[in-house]
Structure 1
Amino acid sequence: MLALAASAPSVLAGEADALPPSVANAMAQASPQAIMEYRRKLQEYQAARDAFEQDASAYWSAIADKRRGRNAKRRDRVQISLDDYVLQQPPVYEGPKRPVNPAPEEEGGKPPRPPKTIPVVSDLVRAAAEQFQFTPQRPSSEVEFKRAYARYARAAGLTPEQAVRVYSFETGGTGNYDVQAGIEHGGKRAISTAMGYNQLLTTNTVELLAEQGHEFVRDLTARVAATQGPARKAMEHKLAVLKKMVAFTRTVPDDWSAHQRLADTPQGWACHAMVLDIDIGPMLQTHKLLTSVIFARNKGYTRPLSAAELEMMNLTGDGTGLDMVTMPQAMREQVPTTNFFQRSGYERNPVAIRHNTVAKLLAITNERMDSNSNKPGARELAAAF
């Protein structure tokens, strides 16, 4: 017994040495008093958060109610007024921060959910090969893709000002045709599937193929007919694959949520690889913006959209964006940006939070477009037009 007791401290010391320093420190510092203080602060924090959440929920419910009211007025062709918007800024949490637990977390329970995989270019290309036996035809140079985009965009009805300034805003004025959100300006990790000049998400690609695929097939069919020699066989294969992809995207209802589910599959990743193709990529990038132009026109908005207005529709969706576009300047100065977002989207958008009225958001968008339009990629795209 004496020998066991004598050896115990050294064994325990050895175990403590084996613990990670953060856990060992927490064990040493987590006195009963520290734990009691933590629990007291946690209660204060939770009470403050609960009060804030009550205010925030009421605010965002009012935002949703006003939006429904505006939609109803538009259906009935009734004039929208300032009273149809929430004019207060959202509540801001100003209570205590969540306290740090002084004791190490207990082991056990469910393992943390692994982070969602965000596919990058190599994943998309691999998916295209595996799912459709197809490899996107990449451009020989960046300027080749810019010229292809400029030709298609101009013929489809986009103006150089719209295309170049939106590109400047979305990519910082330097993005290549395969630029991906997070992997630019020295970034190492993709933060979304947004890719290319107008930052299409996988869901954007699936939706465009579903809704505009007939136009893509028509245009590519004409190109196949004009192609001679060995290149024609490759173009015929590309056309066959495009038809299969369009058919795949139409296996679900024409609905964003349904398209989102398709996009997050190997076949959806394969479809997104078409953003990289010298023929299909410019079509997708163009129609990402053109659908907004056509939407505005169909709603009776005949004045050409400025690039900043087009970006608002690109950012918030066509219906919501058009709400901002058609708003008189005097109202733009007063209406908070919250009126055009869901809560989760707004809280992840520091630009909309910082520039918190429609007028301010449009102003900062124009300012960034002005600045980035002077960068090399933007100048190269402008020259391609």
Structure 2
Amino acid sequence: MRSRVIRRCHQIVVGALLLAPLADVSEGAAAPATPADAMAQAAAPAAIADYRRKLNAYQEARAAFEQEAGAYWNAIADKRRIRSAKRRSHQSITLDDYVLARPPLYEGPHRPINPEPEEGPAPRQRKHIPVVADFLKAAAEQFQFAPQRPRTEIDFKRAYARVAQAYGLTKEQAVRVYSFETGGNGNHDMQSGLSTSRPGSRAISTAIGYNQLLTTNSVELLAEQGDDILRALGEKAARLSGPQRAAMERKIAAIKRMVAYAHSMPDTWSAHEKLADTPKGWAIHALVLDIDVGPLLQTHKLLTSIIFARNKGYARPLTAAELEMMNLTGDGTGLDMVTMPPAMRERVPTANFFQRQGYERNPVAIRHDTVAKLLAVTDARMDSNSAKPGARDLAAAF
């Protein structure tokens, strides 16, 4: 609609120019006014004075808020460091180890619009977010690999269910996390932000699949679980023969090259994130689409959180909502919420588990502002989405 309005305005302006009489171009005639000149002439002294008064009020209010917010988020970081130190020394975590106040929200005046023309920074270019076509192209070019896509979505769900069960994930964990991450109807190649029901929709991240793995997730999983993935593929190849075995062996050879490349980088999230934003990283992400490797990556993404909790002494099985908290916020932060007694969950604000920028961009965390409320809304969304056809199909696959 906006483009139509712009085109319509453009047509009106052009029409007005065509109908206007020719300007006097004789010597001494004034040059036509530019838009900036027109704005400057239109900005009356009273409007400029009012703008400066409002701007001063805005700057004062914003500075006061920034001072209050800075102190709050510094306290959040300090408490987080205290909790980490206490966990390392096996001390109990108490309510005193969290900030129990809600974060301040800016409620002052908005920045006023300057009636005078001003030079602004050049518009920031939108960063290209690669999509499935980019991942497939990179896989072919970088590793001469094409993922084996499922004939039907049910085939992929059955493959995922077999792998998830074999590695110890429960039906409830797998189905409810899928329901939350995909809305209960996602396909194996579903990408965050893209929807066939919304023409013109744009990818908002590289997250793909049943558990919405990012490119960095795929690189990290291949670096850390690549040997296990190759072992599982080797066992499958041993049960095949003829052309099917030959195709599997070619797949294994390509994945060995990917694993070797992932191993060549430092085993840190930052290094994996840097690799993930390259054609080779995009190529590795294409593995999520493969009917043999995709289920292994999806399963390992959840399994690493379960193993992390177990290694930290948390023996009780994780609920799907608890597992999702670890999936969303990272294992360490998620476990902080998961291990919290129910009475504390009712009182501890969700802000304790976010960086400021992430929190202020997360309306769900702001609206459901305690750990108990955040877990409850996650469970409620899982309940609702589990009734949708895709979730029912995945449940049946188990």
TM-score category of the 2 structures, normalised to the smaller one: over 0.9
Partner SS, residue 137 of structure 1: coil
Q: How does 1:262-301 map to 2 (within 5 A)?
A: 262-301=275-314
CA distance in 2, matches of 1:24, 1:360: 55
Letter in 2 for 1:141: T
Q: In structure 2, do the counterparts of structure 1 residues 323 and 25 end up closer, same or farther at CA, with 3 Å as the change threshold?
A: farther
Which residue identity is paired with 1:260? Answer: E
**Does the alignment pair 1:241 with 2:246?**
no
Q: Which amino acid in structure 2 is aligned with residue 274 of structure 1?
A: L
Q: How far does residue 184 in structure 1 lie from its aligned partner after superposition?
A: 2.8
Match of 1:154 in 2: 165
Deviation, 1:206, is 0.6
Q: Does 1:232 align with 2:232?
A: no
The C-alpha deviation readout for 1:61-103, integer Å capped at 9, x for no partner, is 1111111101111111111111010000001101111112223
Q: Alpha-carbon deviation of 1:229?
A: 1.2
Matched, 1:378 2:391: yes
* Cα offset, 1:48, TM superposition: 1.3
The equivalent position to 1:121 in structure 2, one of 107, 110, 132, is 132
User: In structure 2, how many angstroms separate the alpha carbons of the residues matched to 1:337 and 1:118?
Assistant: 29
The equivalent position to 2:185 in structure 1, one of 165, 174, 177, is: 174
Q: Give the counterpart of 2:154 among 135, 143, 149.
A: 143
Aligned to 2:82: 69
2:300 and 2:188 map into 1 onto residues whose CA distance is: 15
CA drift of 1:4 comes to: 4.3
2:322 to 309, 312, 327: 309
C-alpha spacing 1:185/1:102, structure 2 compared with 1 (3 Å): farther
Q: Distance in 2 between matches of 1:368 and 1:357?
A: 17
Task: Quote the residue 1:332 is aligned against.
Answer: 345
Which residue of 185, 195, 200 corresponds with 2:208? 195
Give the aligned residue type for 1:154.
Q
For 1:163, the aligned partner's letter is: A
Shift of 1:361: 0.3
* Alignment check: 8 A CA contact 1:175 1:184 kept: no
Q: Does 1:184 align with 2:189?
A: no
Distance 2:81 2:242 in 1: 57
Bigger shift: 242-251 or 155-164? 242-251
Alpha carbons of structure 1 residues 60 and 236: separation in structure 2 relative to 1, 3 Å: same
What is the SS of the residue equivalent to 2:103?
coil
Distance 1:100 1:273 in 2: 46
Question: Is residue 49–residue 95 contact of structure 1 (8 Å, CA) maintained in 2?
Answer: yes
Number of residue pairs matched by the alignment: 374
Change in Cα spacing, 1:8 to 1:175, as seen in structure 2 (3 Å) is: farther
Q: CA deviation at 1:25?
A: 7.6
Alignment-derived partner of residue 69 in structure 2: 56
AA aligned to 2:341 is P
2:386 is matched by which residue type in structure 1?
A: S
**Structure 1: unaligned runs, 5 residues or longer:** none
Q: CA deviation at 1:202?
A: 0.6
Q: Spell out, residue by residue over 1:5-30, the C-alpha distance to the aligned partner (whole angstroms, 9 max, x if none).
A: 68946x62xx76xx6xxx79845643
Map of 1:322 onto structure 2: 335
CA RMSD of aligned residues (A): 2.0
Structure 2: tracts of 5 or more residues without a match: 1-23
TM-score (norm 1): 0.92
The residue type equivalent to 2:105 in the other structure is V
Same amino acid, percent of matched pairs: 68
Q: 1:237 deviation in Å?
A: 1.4
Give, as a single letter, the amino acid of the residue that structure 1 aligns with 2:238.
Answer: A
Report deviation, 1:230: 1.3
1:195-216 deviations in Å (ceiling 9; x for gaps)? 1111111111111011111110
TM-score by length of 2: 0.89
Query: Distance between the aligned counterparts of 1:70 and 1:144, measured in 2?
Result: 45
CA distance in 2 between partners of 1:138 and 1:31 (Å): 65
The equivalent position to 1:217 in structure 2, one of 227, 230, 236, is 230
Query: Structure 2: how far apart are the matches of 1:279 and 1:7?
Result: 80
